[in-house]
A and B are shown apart, each in its own frame.
Chain A
Amino acid sequence: MKARIKITLKPGVLDPQGKAIQHALSGLGVAGVNDVRQGKYIEVDLAETGEAAARAQVEKICKDLLANTVIENYAYELVP
């Protein structure tokens, strides 16, 4: 199964990179951008074919390595 994982900053955590992107957008003349937050997208291709087992694996991978849960949330979807 493939896991498509999104890692995002928790609300309230400072995101200067998001701010820099917002700034650049206004420099490009894009109007009406209220806020920009930058995150990470990671694809993990698992040998596991059972959904429950794959889910457990992905939870562990996210908690142990992919996300720093002090400042980041993670969300994922599993596709065959």
Chain B
Amino acid sequence: MKASVIVFPGSNCDRDVKVALDAVLGKGSTTMVWHGDANVPASDLIVIPGGFSYGDYLRCGAMAAHSPVMRDVVAKAKGGTPVIGICNGFQILTESGLLPGVLMRNASLKFICRDVTLKVEQTDTLFTRAYRKGEVITIPIAHAEGNYFADADTLDRLEGEGRVVFRYVDAAGNATPEGNPNGAQRNIAGICDDSRRVLGMMPHPERLFEPMLGGTDGRRLFESLIDKVAA
């Protein structure tokens, strides 16, 4: 399997993603692609990592969405290449139109950096088939703009089409205000597009993929891809 990780000026989670991908997919599987390149190599997976692309100037991910490389990322996504956007990557995916909605400033105004509990709502996507439906996992978040917002029609459509993939839940596994770290509508932490091959999520699975990091709940997101894409 070949994976490409897009690097923008200000991305800072790109190397963590490479470490996680190399560990799960094998050394040499991952290529770093600079945002100024017009083309992404043929890939089985494209990852848009977290960080502060363009310093979050104007809006998070707004300018990165117009970087030269994104034209090819969008084209490849439309052609069926799986894409994951993590944190700033999720913001870039919404700004580029590959996913609906927008990530706004956290309702508390605070930058939140801690583990959260997520419910895996859908296991029929390329990224979640190694989880159990309804499983509650722990993954860290680190963001000030993770407050997912879309109008009511869009939210209803996402729910109706089973495109809410991860939801923030409390310790008991319920999507309550207590379980919602940032005010996101309907406690939404991650969604997919209608092809179910483009995923955006605010939490960082690459930060919890081996025991040394304090947990492995993030690993199965990357492992899910192996069987599905190689098949």
Residues from chain A with Cβ under 8 Å of B147 in the complex: 14
24 contacts between A and B (CB under 8 A): A13-B149, A14-B107, A14-B147, A14-B149, A14-B183, A16-B105, A16-B106, A16-B107, A16-B109, A17-B109, A20-B109, A64-B66, A65-B62, A65-B63, A68-B59, A68-B62, A68-B102, A70-B94, A70-B100, A70-B149, A70-B150, A71-B102, A71-B104, A71-B149
**Cβ B105 vs Cβ A17 within 8 A:** yes
Q: Which of B58, B100, B104, B106 contacts A66 (CB 8 A)?
A: B58
Residues from chain A with Cβ under 8 Å of B105 in the complex: 16-17
The dominant DSSP class at the A interface is: helix
Interface size class of A (residues with CB under 8 A): 10 to 19
Which residue on chain A has the smallest CB distance to residue B63?
A65
Q: Mark B86-112, 1 if CB is under 8 A from A, else 0.
A: 000000001100001110111111000
For the complex, what is the distance from the CA of A14 to the CA of B101, rounded to whole Å? 14
Q: Which of B66, B102, B149, B150 contacts A65 (CB 8 A)?
A: B66
For the complex, what is the distance from the CA of A28 to the CA of B94, rounded to whole Å? 38
Which B residues between 62 and 102 are near A, CB-CB below 8 angstroms? 62-63, 66, 94-95, 100-102
**Cβ A14 vs Cβ B66 within 8 A:** no
Which A residues between 8 and 25 are near B, CB-CB below 8 angstroms? 13-14, 16-17, 20
